Amino acid sequence: MRRYETIYILRPTLGEDEITRVVESTNQIILDEKGTIIELNKLGMKKLAYLIKKESQGYYVYCEYAGSPAAVAEIERKFRIDDSVLRYLTIKTAVSISEEQIQQAVGEVTARETAAQEQEATDKDEAVAEQTPVEQQTSTEESPVEAKNEEVAEVENESEAEK
């Protein structure tokens, strides 16, 4: 088996179910040829650097996998036929990959995703923790507007008392 990366751009007018259909059919080709998907990342809608088939945006999908050259040939054949695929690019990243290297790569991707989720949760908790003292401080202290209104009221009371 060899290790490949394929990135493909889909038309922005496709619905979520059509995008899922293209991604699933691509994954099924890899699995039918006894390959393994290491990482699948739907990058989402992005602006294109230049117009491709009169489209200025595209839905990006990144797939890293271990498979045979026959799988790559079949994927690219399907992409050429399918009008919903704007562009695609497949790169061979390793000439051969063993089963344990595949499992190690899958483990690394899983660990990276888990770390990213934990970091996101930590960032959210820190944002909430930073926000809470500010809210407490503003509720216990007078706002500058309230303080100014009290000063104006005192000055008006003094001037009335002098009259």
Q: How do the domains of the chain map onto residue ranges?
A: 2-97
Say what the pLDDT of residue 99 is.
87
Per the listing, tokens 């839905």 go with 59
Question: What is the Cα–Cα distance from 44 to 61, expressed in whole angstroms?
Answer: 7
Strand ranges in 68-115 using DSSP code E only, listed in sequence order? 85-94
Residue 158 pLDDT grade (very low, low, confident, very high; cuts 50, 70, 90): low
Question: What is the Cα–Cα distance from 36 to 64, expressed in whole angstroms?
Answer: 9
Any idea which architecture 2-97 has in CATH? Answer: 2-Layer Sandwich (3.30)
Task: Please tell me whether the overall predicted TM-score, pTM, comes out greater than 0.75 for this model.
Answer: no
Say what the pLDDT of residue 117 is.
87
| Tens-digit pLDDT profile for residues 102-135 | 888 889 988 988 888 888 888 887 777 776 655 5
pLDDT at 57 over 90: yes
Give the pairing of strands 36-52 and 85-94. Answer: unpaired
pLDDT at 44 over 60: yes
Strand ranges in 77-141 using DSSP code E only, listed in sequence order? 85-94
Strand order in the sheet with 36-52: 36-52, 55-67, 2-10, 85-94
